[in-house]
Amino acid sequence: MYLKNVLVSAVAAATIAVAPTMTFAGGNDGKEAAATTPQGSADIVEVAVGAGQFNTLAKALTAAGLIDTLKGPGPFTVFAPTDAAFAKLPPDQLNALLADKAALTKVLTYHVVPGTMMAADVKTGAVKTAEGKSLNVVVSSSGVMVNNAKVVKTDIKAKNGVIHVIDTVVLPM
């Protein structure tokens, strides 16, 4: 719940910005998110929670107070790190992040881009996040990278945006 609140707050802050259109060439491996609610009828938070692989993200969003934001009208594009992605962080670093609401909000909003960016439209370049800094997107024959994270699933639709699953937590520099 903590992580969910953080993302929601970040998304709310980002809604005042105009988002560029971005899509991912290729990248969709054909797998759908396992959610209890059909894609497109639930909001980003409901879709993520229903998928079962974003428990740490949900905890962080809750801690940051971002849940309501990500449940808002959007639209949002969320680069969602899985539980396995969060597990790559050293435990001390993760615990410190979860205990620091300001730092957590900054990290979570760095995973959110205002607007809807579908995979088909993504191109190599910088994409401004709700946090204010840009993510570096690289499209290649081996897939899509967002900073140092690989996009492992794309285009998980929600009624207020889209989720792209990444294998690493990206940290603003």
Domain boundaries, the chain: 2-166
Dihedral pair phi/psi, residue 88, rounded to 5° = -70, -20
Angle among Cα 161, 162, 165 to the nearest 5 degrees reads 150
- Flag whether the pTM goes above 0.75: yes
Q: 2-166: what fold?
A: FAS1 domain (2.30.180)
Long-range contacts of 45-53 (CB under 8 A, 24+ apart): 45/4, 45/7, 45/8, 45/70, 45/71, 46/71, 46/158, 47/156, 47/157, 47/158, 47/163, 48/4, 48/78, 48/80, 48/163, 49/4, 51/156, 53/82, 53/83, 53/84, 53/165
Side by side, which strands form the sheet with 143-146? 112-114, 76-81, 161-166, 149-158, 143-146, 134-140, 125-128
The per-residue pLDDT for range 25-39, each reduced to its tens digit, is 333 333 333 333 345
Residue (of 124, 155, 119) closest to 40 by Cα position: 155
Query: Residue 1 pLDDT > 70, yes or no?
Result: no
pLDDT single digits (tens) 48-104: 888 889 999 999 999 999 998 989 998 999 999 999 999 999 999 999 999 999 999
